[in-house]
């Protein structure tokens, strides 16, 4: 049997690349305009990094990580998300020494052993940002504004920004107790995962993919916020209103990673069922310290590239077509046009040809298939006179040009048609 790709892992084919490149380019432009710089961290790390940061009793760490022992017996994991590695690098290279605000973005593949379905893969891509150093709610507003800006620039509508606060160490324990009291009588009716979460991580019950509707009357963190957390959240809400960024407060929004504090948010789409979150993030004020660094607060988000692309209008995002197809008829003609092709490509003109020198009819078909803007026909007669016939494929106009002048001629025509 032929060997196929691993289940839940996709090839991104050339025809899909224009959309991917457009998304990546737009994200870079938007992030860089907010002062973020790219960082590239490894796709694998010591397992302990993820267990410590994401939290031992989260879905990711409990059942989704690709973990293996390498040949030295070290326990390694393919990164399931980007924040842990970025924060590790931030600490390891003391990036906090240079600036009070360190703003980083990353993009690349993540790995989670989940049940593959539409919008859910085992290798998927994220583009994410981390702003380290600022605890002020205006940093949160900036991050949310940037996320909003990115989706506006991409022309993606129909997504809703949901925000919530998860409080901090001072107030979350009180809420956890209230939530456990509320959940206790419901315990026998909860799914197996939630029965476990009740003990280890009760907030995560609210994020149940099976029956979150059961908890519509649960107590919410917002009613349990301590003074400083409440003030922080109110400033964020006010700031978003001032900037005209639409959002809704979802008091039952929790996240699948333990490190979040205070502001948390998701960008939710109107479809895709359980895969309806296209971007998500929040503040993580204790994470850097938890991983052995100084007390530096942080906030970030990651967007799922496959899900974002499913929302993109790709009509105008097509693969580049050649500017010119050269129909060289016969071996001698092919030999003669090779240096011409070389000069054209040196000038950045996209050229295709048939290296076999096939018949005019079959080569004109190829020119059509490539969708070339122009075709240059070089046959025996043309070779003798050192000329060629240049055909504009749209207007069908044909002119004779000297082979030596073809680069200039095309450059002129291409600038005119732009």
Q: Confirm if 82 and 110 have CB atoms less than 8 A apart.
A: yes
Q: How far is CA 246 from CA 154, 161, 310, in A?
A: 17, 7, 22
| 409 contributes a contact to ligand ATP by CB under 6 A | no
DSSP one-letter string for 153-182:
HTT--SEEEEEEE---HHHHHHHHHHHHHH
| 374 contributes a contact to ligand ATP by CB under 6 A | no
Q: In sequence order, what are the beta bridge partners of 76?
A: 46, 68
Of the candidate residues 18, 174, 239, 256, the single one contacting ligand ATP (CB under 6 A): 256
Q: In sequence order, what are the beta bridge partners of 265?
A: 163, 281
The tokens for 318 are 């097509």
The pair phi, psi for residue 391, each rounded to 5°, is: -115, 125
**What is the edge-to-edge ordering of all strands in the sheet holding 44-46?**
44-46, 75-78, 66-69
Which segment (118-126, 132-140, 235-243, 312-320) binds ligand ATP by CB under 6 A?
118-126
| 300 contributes a contact to ligand ATP by CB under 6 A | no
Of the candidate residues 130, 142, 306, 382, the single one contacting ligand ATP (CB under 6 A): 306
Of the candidate residues 129, 279, 291, 327, the single one contacting ligand ATP (CB under 6 A): 279
| 65 contributes a contact to ligand ATP by CB under 6 A | no
List all residues 6 or more positions away from 238 whose beta carbon is below 8 Å from its beta carbon. none
| 124 contributes a contact to ligand ATP by CB under 6 A | yes
Which segment (115-123, 138-146, 169-177, 319-327) binds ligand ATP by CB under 6 A?
115-123
SS3 374: strand
Query: At 150, which helix (H) or strand (E)?
Result: helix 137-153
Minimum CB separation from ligand ATP for residue 266, in Å?
7
Q: Which is nearer to ligand ATP, 45 or 382 (CB)?
A: 45
Minimum CB separation from ligand ATP for residue 119, in Å?
6
| 258 contributes a contact to ligand ATP by CB under 6 A | no
Of the candidate residues 280, 288, 341, 344, the single one contacting ligand ATP (CB under 6 A): 280
Q: In sequence order, what are the beta bridge partners of 17?
A: none
Q: Which is nearer to ligand ATP, 111 or 374 (CB)?
A: 111
Taking each continuous run of H as one helix and of E as one strand, the counts in the chain are 14, 16
Which segment (163-171, 218-226, 299-307, 317-325) binds ligand ATP by CB under 6 A?
299-307
Residues engaged in binding ligand ATP (CB under 6 A): 81, 112, 114, 119-121, 124, 126, 256, 275, 277-280, 302, 304, 306-307
């Amino acid at each position: 049997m032929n060997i196929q790709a691993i289940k839940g892992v996709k090839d991104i084919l050339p025809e899909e690349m224009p959309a991917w490149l457009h998304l990546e380019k737009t994200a870079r432009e938007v992030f860089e305009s907010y002062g973020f710089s790219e960082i590239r961290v490894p796709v694998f790390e010591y397992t302990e990094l993820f267990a410590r940061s994401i939290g031992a009793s989260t879905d990711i760490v409990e059942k989704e990580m690709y973990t293996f022992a390498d040949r030295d017996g070290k326990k390694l994991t393919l990164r399931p998300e980007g924040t842990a590695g970025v924060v590790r690098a931030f600490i390891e290279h003391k990036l906090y020494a240079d600036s009070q605000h360190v703003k980083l973005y990353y993009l690349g593949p993540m790995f989670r052993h989940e049940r593959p379905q539409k919008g859910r893969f085992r290798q998927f891509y994220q583009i994410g940002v981390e702003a380290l150093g600022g605890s002020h709610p205006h940093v949160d507003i900036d991050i949310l504004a940037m996320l909003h800006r990115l989706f506006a620039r991409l022309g993606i509508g129909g997504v809703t920004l949901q925000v919530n606060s998860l409080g901090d160490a001072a107030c979350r324990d009180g809420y956890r107790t209230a939530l456990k009291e509320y959940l206790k009588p419901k315990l026998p009716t909860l799914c197996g995962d939630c029965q476990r979460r009740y003990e280890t991580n009760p907030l995560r019950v609210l994020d149940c993919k099976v029956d979150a509707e059961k908890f519509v009357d649960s107590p919410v963190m917002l009613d349990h916020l301590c003074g400083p957390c409440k003030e922080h959240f109110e400033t964020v809400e006010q700031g978003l209103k001032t900037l005209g960024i639409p959002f809704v407060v979802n008091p039952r929004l929790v996240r699948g990673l333990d490190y979040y504090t205070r502001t948390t948010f998701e960008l939710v789409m109107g479809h895709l069922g359980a895969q309806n979150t296209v971007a998500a993030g929040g503040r993580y004020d204790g994470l850097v310290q938890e991983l052995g660094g100084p007390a530096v607060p942080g906030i970030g988000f990651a967007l799922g590239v496959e899900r974002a692309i499913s929302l993109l209008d790709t009509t105008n995002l097509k693969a580049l077509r050649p500017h010119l197809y050269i129909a060289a008829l016969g071996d001698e003609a092919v030999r003669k046009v090779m240096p011409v092709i070389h000069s054209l490509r040196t000038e950045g003109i996209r050229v295709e040809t048939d290296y076999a020198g096939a018949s005019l009819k079959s080569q004109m078909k190829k020119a059509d298939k490539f969708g070339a803007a122009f075709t240059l026909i070089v046959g025996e007669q043309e070779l003798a006179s050192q000329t060629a016939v240049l055909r504009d494929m749209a207007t069908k106009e044909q002119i004779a040009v000297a082979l030596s002048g073809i680069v200039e001629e095309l450059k002129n025509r291409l600038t005119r048609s732009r």
